């Protein structure tokens, strides 16, 4: 029975007088629904062969489906290659390994697998019933600073999306020194434009798999929404800019995905002491390998994966001097800072949802509060009033608040303004809901804290501390994301209307402690200061 039919039944039970009438109505509706739908198959053919899923918690799941060949040996630092076909039916019952990494202690989305270099797997959640109409598809791209993360964390479970009639796909992509790496010998071997940004190549390969095969899982390849948070949000920006990703998705959601050139360094592939190739040579020397030719490359490819992980994670990446730091400049994959690229008109013309949280990640490097205020130039006095109104804030508090605005919150507004002015449909949000168990301990909604609300997996994240208020907010947030995936408009029935973004009105959806509120941005003055400071710094 469909999710919609189940909801109608519950409504009928509440509205019809008498148990007999309710029972007749339920049986009649159940018979009609059964006539329209059939059980979805557990066995599906994909590019490599047949896979078999399982029924879990009322939906069908397929886990650990390879979408590309293992990127090991000669395929380390190569574009993703086709899967080698298999014989018989491959069980798709467990997550494949997440990609090679050193997990960061205390990560809010802990992995549930062993991480390995052979990791290019994806997962699919779909409703248990199969109808005549193809379903909307959502493709999740995880965050983790491009050094951590995977599809196995419990908060990324796609069950609730499938229960609401969405086919949810998640996939792994290469991380750290496996995902972003350049080397002179690779430059000579690689085809034009197929080098450096292997993580982004993996993402495009996964989306190409979705286009080819998602119809077999009941999904509509013409109605695909990509969404991601942090590094995943940066990835969504990259896919919106990439000519190679055109036509692979119809809508996009950017959660805390930055947009200005102030998070990761913009490294060219080659030609400077700070280029990606220069960093690759530095990494090789650090690992005891000299030279830049084929023999040095072969030696690098022969290293155990753990040597290349090299202690890199979100806690250590800032002090690491041998890792490129993230996407490498490439006109086909990552042409530059999204705010600048979008302003030039180079962006996929699809509906976009974008936003950030009220206690975002980010920091300023100033060594004192007076230095912080100087960074705002002529706005120094205003910045002091906004960020330190009572004169009692510490350097760290001010640095994090202003840094979060400049890294995440203001760039989201800037992108909303640019796309809206281009005539694209765009919706901005601000996530400020703090779980009841954390209230009084944090100044706002921390970076990434919206994720369990988007997936409606708050119980998996907060456990016994989950409150009814948390569950209600999760249902509301989740409903907005599902509605956008269905139609390109976040307009779930029964929730406050979310207007399109316009610079003139500056309206967004504010997910507050009291529920969703559509209003003019209450942080407008604060973000104006962040915008001026970012421009002053050349971002």
pLDDT in tens, 12-60: 233 323 333 334 343 344 444 443 568 999 999 999 999 999 999 999 9
pTM for this predicted structure: 0.93
Per-residue pLDDT of 392-438, as tens digits, reads 999 999 999 999 999 999 999 999 999 999 999 999 999 999 999 99
CA dihedral angle for residue 111, residue 117, residue 118, residue 123, rounded to 10 degrees: 30
- Closest by CA position to 139, among listed 241, 70, 239, 68: 239
Q: Which two tokens stand for residue 46?
A: 């994909």
Paired strand residues for 89: 50
CA neighbours closer than 13 Å in the CB half-sphere of residue 149: 25
To the query of whether residue 229 is one of the catalytic residues in this protein, the response is no
What's the number of CA atoms in the CB half-sphere (13 Å) around residue 145?
Answer: 24
- The yes-or-no verdict on residue 2 having pLDDT over 70 is no
pLDDT band at 70, cuts 50/70/90?
very high
Dump pLDDT digits (tens) for 356-401: 999 999 999 999 999 999 999 999 999 999 999 999 999 999 999 9
Beta strands in 67-156 (DSSP E): 89-91, 98-99, 115-116, 121-127, 129-130, 135-141
The pLDDT value given to residue 173: 98
pLDDT at 214 over 60: yes
**What would the DSSP string read from start to end of 390-408?**
TS---HHHHHHHHHHIIII
Residue 18 confidence (pLDDT): 39
Q: What is the DSSP string of 270-288?
A: SSSTTSHHHHHHHHHHHTT
Model pLDDT for residues 497-514, shown as the tens digit of each residue: 999 999 999 999 999 999
Among the listed residues 447, 461, 478, 539, the single catalytic one is 447
According to the model, what pLDDT value does residue 195 have?
85
- Residue 37 has a pLDDT of 60
Q: How far apart are CA 439 and CA 444, in angstroms?
A: 8
End-to-end CA, the chain: 52
Q: Encode 451-473: b = buried (16+ Cβ within 10 Å), e = exposed.
A: bbbbbbbbbbbbeeebeeebeeb
CB 268 within 8 A of CB 330: no
User: What's the pLDDT tens digit per position in 126-167?
Assistant: 999 988 899 999 999 999 999 999 999 999 999 999 999 999
Catalytic-residue membership of 461: no
**Catalytic option among 152, 230, 420, 534:** 230
The DSSP string of 23-91 is HHHHHHHHHHHHHH-EEPPSEEEETTEEEE-EEETTEEEEEEEE-S----GGGTTS---PPPP-SSEEE
Indicate if 230 belongs to the active site. yes
Give the closest residue to 65 by CA, choosing from 78, 82, 48.
Answer: 48
Mean pLDDT of 68-81: 97
Q: What is the pLDDT of residue 265?
A: 81
- Quote the pLDDT of residue 191: 59
pLDDT in tens, 442-487: 999 999 999 999 999 999 999 999 999 999 999 999 999 999 999 9
Residue-level pLDDT at 202: 98
Share of the chain above pLDDT 90, in %: 90
Task: Select which of 360, 428, 495, 531 is catalytic.
Answer: 360
Q: Which pLDDT score is estimated for 3? A: 41
pLDDT score for 132: 87
List of E strands, 131-173 = 135-141, 167-171
Mean pLDDT value across the chain: 92
Average pLDDT estimate for 337-355: 97
Residue 265: CB atoms within 10 Å: 15
Q: How far is CA 276 from the centre of its chain?
A: 24
User: In this predicted structure, what is the pLDDT of residue 21?
Assistant: 38
Contacts of 10 (CB under 8 A, 6+ apart): none
| Number of C-beta neighbours around residue 121 at 10 A | 27
Q: Would you call 228 helix, strand, or coil by DSSP?
A: strand
The residues, any chain, with a CB within 8 Å of residue 408's CB and separated by 6 or more, are 256, 257, 258, 356, 357, 360, 361, 362, 447
Q: How confident is the model at residue 299 (pLDDT cuts 50, 70, 90)?
A: very high
Partners of 255 in the β-ladder = 229, 355
Residue 62 has pLDDT above 80, yes or no: yes
Domains within the chain, CATH numbers bracketed: 37-350 (3.40.50.1820)
Cβ atoms within 10 Å of 280's Cβ, excluding its own: 30
């Amino acid at each position: 029975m469909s999710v919609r039919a189940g909801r109608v039944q519950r409504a009928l039970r509440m509205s019809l007088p008498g148990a007999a009438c309710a029972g007749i109505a339920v049986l009649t509706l159940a018979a009609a629904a059964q006539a329209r739908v059939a059980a979805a198959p557990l066995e599906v053919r994909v590019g490599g062969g047949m896979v078999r899923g399982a029924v879990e918690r009322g939906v069908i799941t397929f886990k650990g489906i390879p979408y590309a060949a293992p990127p090991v040996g000669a395929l380390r630092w190569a574009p993703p290659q086709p899967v080698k076909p298999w014989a018989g039916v491959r069980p798709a019952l467990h997550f494949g390994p997440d990609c090679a990494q050193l997990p960061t202690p205390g990560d809010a989305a802990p992995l549930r697998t062993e991480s390995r270099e052979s990791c290019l797997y994806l997962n699919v959640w779909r409703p248990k019933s199969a109808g005549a109409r193809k379903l909307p598809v959502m493709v999740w791209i995880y965050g983790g600073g491009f050094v951590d993360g995977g599809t196995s964390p419990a908060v990324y479970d796609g069950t609730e999306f499938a229960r609401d009639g969405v086919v949810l796909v998640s996939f792994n992509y290469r991380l750290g020194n496996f995902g972003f790496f350049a080397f002179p010998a690779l430059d000579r071997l690689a085809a034009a434009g197929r080098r450096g940004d292997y993580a982004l190549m993996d993402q495009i390969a996964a989306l190409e798999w979705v286009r080819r095969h998602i119809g077999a899982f009941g999904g509509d390849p013409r109605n695909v929404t990509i969404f991601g948070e942090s590094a995943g949000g940066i990835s969504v920006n990259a896919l919106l800019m990439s000519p190679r990703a055109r036509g692979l998705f119809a809508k996009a959601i950017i959660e805390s995905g930055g947009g200005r050139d102030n998070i990761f360094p913009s490294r060219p592939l080659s030609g400077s002491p700070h280029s990606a190739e220069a960093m690759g040579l530095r990494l090789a020397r650090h690992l005891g390998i000299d030279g830049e030719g084929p023999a040095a490359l072969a030696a690098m490819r022969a290293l155990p994966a753990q040597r290349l992980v090299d202690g890199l994670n979100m806690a250590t990446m800032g002090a690491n001097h041998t890792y490129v730091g993230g996407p490498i400049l490439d006109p086909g994959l990552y042409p530059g800072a999204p705010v600048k690229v979008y302003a030039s008109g180079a962006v996929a013309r699809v509906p976009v949802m974008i936003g950030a949280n009220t206690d975002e990640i980010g920091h300023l490097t100033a060594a004192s509060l007076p230095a912080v205020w100087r960074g705002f130039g002529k706005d120094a006095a205003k910045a002091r009033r906004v960020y330190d109104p009572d004169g009692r804030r510490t350097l760290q508090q001010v640095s994090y608040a202003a840094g979060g605005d400049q890294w995440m919150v203001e760039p989201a507004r800037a992108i909303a303004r640019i796309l809206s002015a281009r005539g694209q449909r765009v919706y901005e949000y601000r996530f400020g809901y703090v779980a009841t168990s954390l209230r009084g301990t944090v100044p706002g909604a921390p970076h990434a804290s919206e994720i369990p609300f988007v997936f409606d997996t708050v119980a998996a994240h907060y456990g016994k501390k989950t409150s009814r208020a948390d569950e209600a907010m999760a249902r509301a947030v989740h409903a907005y994301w599902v509605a956008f995936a269905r139609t390109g408009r976040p307009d779930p029935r029964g929730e406050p209307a979310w207007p399109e973004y316009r610079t003139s009105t500056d309206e967004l959806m504010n997910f507050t402690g009291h529920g969703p509120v559509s209003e003019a941005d209450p942080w407008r003055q604060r973000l104006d200061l962040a915008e001026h400071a970012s421009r002053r710094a050349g971002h």
